[in-house]
Structure 1
Amino acid sequence: MMTTVEPLSTLSRWYLYAIHGYFCEVMFTAAWEFVVNFNWKFPGVTSVWALFIYGTSILILEKMYLYLKDKYNIFARCLIYTLWTYIWEFTTGLVLRQFNACPWDYSQFDFDFMGLVTLEYAIPWFCASLIVEQLVIRNTLRLRYDERAEPGIATTAAVYANGHIKTN
């Protein structure tokens, strides 16, 4: 008997990407607070808007990855992802600012634009895009959903063949 396994739905992948981005935002702000103010409490902060912003952005990066992976090398792809990140951050920030809901303000940075983006984050965004492609997107696309599996019970099937789980 062959049990088919399906890739995760778009909504499931969006959820994983949203949680990943949210977590990374909290960790980055905690690390930033430590480096800048030597605060041992590591108070990481973010906004609930980060779930939508990161989930949607990384889902778009996933589509970009699938389109670009055979056309450009990793360096060029990460440059494209970084450019996308700046466009997305600026656009979402501009929209949120209209409702007095933009959770970030880069006005204190030397190379900011309207307080919504800053060139000082170019290297961190580039590195983040590398991590997102190589670890998050690639591994998320490998995840499969087995409708017949029982939660908490290990399946005896461990051999995959052509998108199916071989069961005895």
Structure 2
Amino acid sequence: MLSRFLVYGCVGWVLEVMFTGTGAALKKDRNATARTYLWMHPIYGGTALALEEVSARLKPLPRPLRALVYTGLIFGAEYGTGWLLKRLLGRCPWDYAPHRWSVHGLIRLDYAPAWYLTALLFEPVRDTLLHVTSEALRQTPEYRDAEARGTLPPTALPEEKPLEAGLAAARFESAQAEPAPIP
């Protein structure tokens, strides 16, 4: 889970830098100045992990509808973390107050299309990430040792099912953290 949190945070940073840099370039900033905040890494990472949990429950819904729910959750996370940072720091690092569609300076409703597009991309990014981390897990000495001892969960890293593979990887990681039973 920690590896996915870290990667999701970095993916969020990259998307934000691309978004703000493109916006600056469209406003005639020849440097295409982009920016983000250190606070955004844990916000993006935590929000994506929460979306992972929600996505399993929403699986029966059509993907565009799931993305709409994710968009609402993203707005909620942005508003909630902005409010919390404002309480803790005295200000929110991003300030949307001057913008017409701002809600308390913490979110911008006119960003809904960008967040919806991000939400549509979430599942393919998640599936790829879970597949890659599952493949990386197979290469670890701990996994190979557990495989040799025959202590892998029966559904450890099933092929063609990246979400299940990621859940199996999480179970494997937590099982490795527990002390081994005495034979």
Interval of TM-score (by shorter of Structure 1 and Structure 2):
0.7 to 0.9
Residue 80 of structure 1, CA deviation: 0.3
TM-score for the superposition, normalised by structure 2: 0.72
- Give the superposed CA RMSD: 2.0
- The residue identity in structure 2 corresponding to 1:147 is T
Q: Give the number of equivalent residue pairs.
A: 142
Using the alignment, how far apart are the partners of 1:108 and 1:148 within structure 2? Answer: 54
Structure-to-structure mapping, 1:33-72, within 5 angstroms: 33-35=24-26, 37-69=27-59, 71-72=60-61
Preserved contact between residue 109 and residue 120 of structure 1 (Cα < 8 Å): no
Structure 1, 58-67 or 97-106: larger mean CA deviation: 97-106
Give the aligned partner of residue 79 of structure 2: 90
Structure-to-structure mapping, 1:1-168, within 5 angstroms: 10-35=1-26, 37-69=27-59, 71-98=60-87, 99-134=89-124, 136-143=125-132, 144=134, 145=137, 146-148=139-141, 163=157
Give the aligned partner of residue 153 of structure 2: none
Residue 163 of structure 1, CA deviation: 3.7
**Structure with greater proportional strand content:** 1
Residue 164 of structure 1, CA deviation: 7.7
**CA distance 1:87–1:115, change in 2 (3 Å):** same
Preserved contact between residue 107 and residue 114 of structure 1 (Cα < 8 Å): yes
Listed as ranges, the gaps of 5+ residues in structure 2 are: 143-155, 160-183
Using the alignment, how far apart are the partners of 1:102 and 1:52 within structure 2? Answer: 15
- Secondary structure of the 1:122 match is helix
Using the alignment, how far apart are the partners of 2:79 and 2:105 within structure 1? Answer: 9
**Structure with greater proportional helix content:** 2
Preserved contact between residue 61 and residue 81 of structure 1 (Cα < 8 Å): yes
Runs of 4 or more consecutive aligned structure 1 residues displaced over 6 Å after TM superposition: none
Using the alignment, how far apart are the partners of 2:113 and 2:5 within structure 1? Answer: 25
- Secondary structure of the 1:45 match is coil
Residue 148 of structure 1, CA deviation: 3.4
Which protein, 1 or 2, shows the higher relative CO under an 8 Å CA cutoff with sep ≥ 6? 1
Residue 101 of structure 1, CA deviation: 4.7
Listed as ranges, the gaps of 5+ residues in structure 1 are: 1-9, 150-161
